[in-house]
Amino acid sequence: MSESMANARPATACGEAPRPPEGAHVATREQLAHWTRSLDCIHCGLCLSSCPTYQVTGRENASPRGRIYLMRAVAEGRLEPDASYTQALDECLVCRNCETACPSGVRFGELMEFARDEEKKRVPPRGLAGFVERIAFRHVLPKRRVLGALLGTLRLYQRSGVQTLVRKSGLLRRLAPQLAAREALLPVIPSRRERAPLLERYPAHGERRATVGFLTGCVMHPLMPEVHRATIRVLNDQGFDVVVPPSQGCCGALHFHFGHADEGKELARANLRAFLREPLDAIVNNSAGCGAAMKEYPHQLEGEEARRFSSLVRDVSEFLVERGLRPIAPGPKLRVAYDEPCHLIHAQKISAAPKQLLRAIPGVELIPFDGQESCCGAAGIYNLVQPTLADAILSPKIAAIAKVRPDVVVTGNPGCLMQIKNGLAAAGLAIPVKHPIELVP
């Protein structure tokens, strides 16, 4: 069964492009590019301990190295994709912790997105998870009106007492435990008034330093309007005009992560059109996942526009620290635990800026905790489609937070914010979770 030194890494010493082996399923240009990129992995295994799903399961096929190995085996025709292959792809959070750990600079996020896209084309997802996904990606996220209507219904469900009844009766838990787990994740939906659309322009206070575009995203505005308002307020206070193009839409991040690249690209193009209409000094966002996706539009779309767009994208903390902070008014004394969103620290390599911003607020004391930089398990809709793993990944983080007892936990990504909020609530801990920008008085 053992093969010798042949067939390890088919690249050549004299710099010729590597060729796929006989019998490989590498037909298109994209497939070839993907296969070639998978060769960057030297199988050293340094990524293993950084991978949340490997930490929880201990399975090699739940590790970045194992996943790349499988993708490559499928591409080379050594492995017929089976249920365990689909599972191996589905279990990945695409948190990209592994990219930080990798000594060879493997772009794991891109590899995973492509492999998932291929796999979704081969076997469209079935079952509850598949249903949720299809509806969400095709019909909800891209369409604000549908999203609004859905959220209205959910708010009705929550306010009318039906939710209380459902939860108390335990009916759902008995009939559909998986659905019950997901139901439990439902955030409290703000009222229609709170969800009212933003204005198109908010002028700077005092001397204007620059003009920035602001991404509202898909679910963030209706679910957390207070975060957007705080972001705009702080930007204005710090001397920036904020423009909110009305024709913008969802960033497409979830579509890319979960193997719906075509829909994702549509959304990306719409955003290029919306934001490049007028000259902007930056395109600011307050969601780590959206920021990472928009910075990587050039991986998805060709052309100058995508590159120009991505070069303007900034996380709000990154932008403010880069431009230099105007003095901030003192706030209340707070012990703050900062959770590092994966798509900020690993995908965008931003770790210092949010902490600098928080430290600049008089009264804030940053409290370190174990696993501050590890994934919380939210990962877009991961907590909906992989609830068991997501919980297992979250629980050490909640335990670590419980140990340091902060006044507030902050994190710069809406998914993480909701996930940690749910985790703390489930653990019976009354610690609020906020976006860092909300702490700026």
Partner 1 sequence: MSDPLVRALQELLGPQRVLATRGELLVYECDGLTQFKSAPRCAVLPHSTEDVQAILHLLHRERTPFVARGAGTGLSGGAIAQRDAVLIELSRMKQILEIDPVDRIARVEVGVVNAELSKAVKPYGLFYAPDPSSQTACTLGGNAAENSGGPHCLKYGNTTRHMLALEVVLPDGTRETLGDPFAGSAGYDLRGLFIGSEGTLGIATEITVRLCPQPESVVTLLAAFETLDAACRAVSDLIARGVQASAIEILDQRTIDAVESSVFRAGYPRNAGAVLLVELDGPAIETAEDAERVEAIARANHAILLQRAADEEQRMKLWKGRKGAFGAMGRVAPDLYVQDAVVPRTRLPEVVRGIGEICDKYRLRLANVFHAGEGNLHPNIAYDGTRAEEVERVHEAGREIFELCISVGGSLSGEHGIGLEKREFMHLLYSPEDLATFCRVREAFDPLRLANPEKVLPVHACLELRSALPSGERGTR
Site residues, partner 1 (CB under 8 A): 1-13, 18-19, 21, 40, 42-50, 54, 58-61, 63, 65-66, 69-70, 73, 78-85, 88, 101-105
Q: Which is nearer to partner 1, 21 or 363 (CB)?
A: 21
Are the C-beta atoms of 426 and 235 separated by less than 8 Å? no
CB of 346 to partner 1, least distance (A): 13
Helices 64-75 and 83-90, axial angle in degrees (round to 10): 140
- The smaller minimum CB distance to partner 1, of residues 200 and 370, is found at 370
- Least distance from C-beta 61 to partner 1, angstroms? 5
Alpha carbon distance 353, 325 (integer Å) = 11
Residue 145: exposure state from Cβ atoms within 10 A (0-12, 13-18, ≥19): exposed
Contact between 315 and 352 (Cβ < 8 Å): no
Q: Which is nearer to partner 1, 47 or 342 (CB)?
A: 47
Q: How far is CA 50 from CA 101, 118, 186, 405, in A?
A: 7, 26, 29, 25
Closer by beta carbon to partner 1, 51 or else 141: 51
> Shortest approach of partner 1 to residue 404 CB, angstroms?
14
Q: How far is the CB of 125 from partner 1 (least distance, A)?
A: 17
Taking the least distance from each CB to partner 1, the nearer of 58 and 127 is 58
Q: How far apart are the first and last CA of the chain?
A: 66
Minimum distance, C-beta of residue 351 to partner 1, in the bound complex (Å): 14
Instruction: Please say which residue, 239 or 396, places its beta carbon nearer to partner 1.
Output: 396
Closest distance to partner 1 from the beta carbon of 1 (Å): 5
Closer Cβ to partner 1, 59 or 208, answer by number: 59
- Residue 165's H or E segment, with its range, is helix 162-169
Distance CA 210, CA 110 (A): 33
Residue 313 φ/ψ, nearest 5 degrees = -70, 135
Is 198 or 400 the residue whose CB approaches partner 1 more closely?
Answer: 400
Which residue stretches of 387-427 are H helix? 387-404, 414-426
Distance in Å, CB of 79 to partner 1, minimum: 6
Q: How far is the CB of 431 from partner 1 (least distance, A)?
A: 24
Residue 40 or 281 having the CB closest to partner 1:
40
In whole angstroms, the minimum distance from the beta carbon of 38 to partner 1 comes to 13
> Minimum distance from CB of 334 to partner 1 (Å)?
25
Residues 6+ apart with CB under 8 A from 379: 93, 94, 95, 257, 342, 390, 415
Parallel, antiparallel or unpaired: strands 201-202 and 240-243: antiparallel
- Alpha-carbon gap, residue 158 to 160, rounded angstroms: 6
Q: Which two tokens stand for residue 388?
A: 């068991």
Q: Where are the beta strands (DSSP E) in 7-136?
A: none
Q: Which helix (H) or strand (E) holds 89?
A: helix 83-90
| Contact in structure between 422 and 311 (CB atoms under 8 Å) | no
The token duo for 21 is: 């082996």
* Beta-bridge partner residues of 282: 212
CA–CA distances in Å: residue 356 to residues 234, 326, 362: 15, 13, 12
Residue (60 or 305) nearer to partner 1, CB: 60
